[in-house]
Copies of this chain bind each other. A is one copy, B any other.
Amino acid sequence: MTFTPTPADKFTFGLWTVGNRGRDPFGEFVRPPLDPVTAVHRLAGIGAWGVNFHDNDLVPIDATAAERDRIVRAFRQALEATGVTVPMATTNLFTEPVFKDGAFTSHDVKVRRYAVQKTMRAMDLGVELGARTYVFWGGREGAEVDAGKDPIEAIKRFRDALDFLCEYARDQRYDLRFALEAKPNEPRGDIYFPTTAAYLGFIPTLAHPDMVGVNPEFAHEQMAGLSFVHAVAQAIEAGKLFHIDLNDQKPGRFDQDLRFGSESLKPLFFLVKLLEERGYDGPRHFDAHAYRTEDAEGVWDFARGCMRTYLMLKDKARAFAAHAGIQELLAEIRGEGGELDPYSREGAARLKAEAFDRHALASRRLAYERLDQLVVDLLLGSA
């Protein structure tokens, strides 16, 4: 197999990912800026399908209207020339000092209003360039000092902003779905809505829950040591997997945004298997960046690696389904199947009186070691 990506694979990158310049809390930029137009051409060249951006990835925050137009025109020309799409856009509500204590959850209603304004304008920009999904990552919506902000009030403020923006999108007749992205901490001590599930709990309380789903990010659940594949499964089961951010990360530490598949081969195999088997047809977005040790060209090694590993894991998911030994074991493990009967008074009474031999039930073989070893063999290419 060549594992060469094509646009049909729906791989996307953010301008901020391939454009990451390698600054970190202890060190300065190591790479030059990457022009958005160049980014589009390079992405097209390596087989990516789309490019995503925050408003200010494309248009500097203090750009004049003329500058904005010039930038957008050039960017659109690059998209047209290459066939690269813009499936998703989002707002930068975290870089500027004005958002240092939150955007939609700031104590200052003027900051909240400014954040909503910035988002409306960014939605316009995204839609103008073709975006169908709009991501919200509230990186500054959180606290170090719980004395300073009522977390219940923070939730209400966040809802007010989301409801407002849903109405705006509807009023503009934008064909746009919202995807909410969680993170447990960093840059804030604790971020509100720390997990994908927190948003799954929040969405049903919105005025327009149907147009809002989630954008789970592997690194973010992994930071808290939670199972990403279980989180994504819950999102799929709830009909809410609107977008996904793929990368890699070691648990229990700072946000690394590593090359997809560089650390967590087994969990990411199960993730790819889940996405492919469940027919997820949205973008496979890599929200990651090259190591700070890379130079400008190394960024493209990074990007190619993300896609290559996805394709290798996708191929292994196919092999899993086709592997006779695995499928036999699975059939044995799953057993005869059968569902719980729906409730009826009589059924419940019968069930309550039924005799179970719990020791006999406990004795059935569950050959998980054997099955898991076959998965390891498959991953290592020895199955």
Q: What separation, in Å, do the CA atoms of A227 and B339 have in the docked complex?
A: 37
Question: Are the C-beta atoms of B148 and A185 separated by less than 8 Å?
Answer: no
Question: Are the C-beta atoms of B100 and A372 separated by less than 8 Å?
Answer: no
Interface digits, A290-308 against B, CB 8 Å rule (1 contact, 0 not)? 1111110110011011001
Q: Which of the segments A43-51, A63-71, A76-84, A258-266 contacts the partner chain?
A: A258-266
- For A259, give the chain B residue with the smallest CB separation: B369
A348 at the interface (CB under 8 A from B): yes
Which of B339, B348, B374, B382 contacts A160, CB < 8 Å?
B339
A8 at the interface (CB under 8 A from B): no
Chain B neighbourhood of A318, CB < 8 A: none
Tallying the copies of this chain within the complex gives 4
A324 at the interface (CB under 8 A from B): no
Which of B155, B197, B294, B333 contacts A107, CB < 8 Å?
B333
A322 at the interface (CB under 8 A from B): no
- For A163, give the chain B residue with the smallest CB separation: B343
Of A120, A146, A367, which is in contact with the most chain B CB atoms at under 10 Å from its CB?
A146
Question: Are the C-beta atoms of B238 and A368 separated by less than 8 Å?
Answer: no
Question: Are the C-beta atoms of A110 and B356 separated by less than 8 Å?
Answer: yes
Interface digits, A353-383 against B, CB 8 Å rule (1 contact, 0 not)? 0101011011111111111111111011110
Given contacts A369-B294, A370-B301, contact A164 B343 (CB under 8 A): yes
A221-245 with Cβ < 8 A to chain B:
223-227, 229-231, 233-234, 236-238
Question: Are the C-beta atoms of B185 and A253 separated by less than 8 Å?
Answer: yes
Question: Are the C-beta atoms of A145 and B371 separated by less than 8 Å?
Answer: yes
A352 at the interface (CB under 8 A from B): yes
Which of B146, B251, B305, B381 contacts A381, CB < 8 Å?
B381
Q: What separation, in Å, do the CA atoms of A161 and B342 have in the docked complex?
A: 9
Q: What separation, in Å, do the CA atoms of A325 and B199 have in the docked complex?
A: 36
Chain B neighbourhood of A111, CB < 8 A: 361
Question: Are the C-beta atoms of B151 and A292 separated by less than 8 Å?
Answer: no
Which of B112, B237, B294 contacts A152, CB < 8 Å?
B237
- For A23, give the chain B residue with the smallest CB separation: B25
Q: What separation, in Å, do the CA atoms of A30 and B354 have in the docked complex?
A: 24
Interface size in chain A (residues, C-beta < 8 A): 161
Question: Are the C-beta atoms of A251 and B254 separated by less than 8 Å?
Answer: no
Question: Are the C-beta atoms of A151 and B229 separated by less than 8 Å?
Answer: yes
Which of B96, B292, B381 contacts A100, CB < 8 Å?
B292
A42 at the interface (CB under 8 A from B): no
- For A164, give the chain B residue with the smallest CB separation: B343
- For A360, give the chain B residue with the smallest CB separation: B98
Chain B neighbourhood of A157, CB < 8 A: 340
Q: What separation, in Å, do the CA atoms of A345 and B169 have in the docked complex?
A: 11
- For A155, give the chain B residue with the smallest CB separation: B237
Q: What would 24 A/B residue contacts be, using CB atoms closer than 8 Å?
A: A25-B255, A28-B97, A30-B362, A96-B362, A113-B340, A117-B351, A117-B352, A148-B368, A156-B237, A164-B343, A171-B345, A184-B224, A185-B253, A190-B227, A194-B226, A194-B230, A202-B234, A225-B225, A225-B251, A253-B254, A265-B380, A295-B363, A295-B366, A301-B370
Given contacts A26-B187, A195-B198, A225-B253, 18 further A-B contacts (CB under 8 A): A3-B382, A27-B94, A30-B362, A108-B335, A161-B340, A164-B340, A164-B348, A185-B225, A190-B230, A195-B197, A195-B226, A197-B200, A265-B266, A301-B367, A309-B376, A380-B381, A381-B381, A381-B382
Task: In the A-B complex, list the 6 residue pairs whose CB atoms are closest, starting with the nearest.
Answer: A381-B381, A200-B201, A109-B338, A167-B343, A151-B233, A254-B254
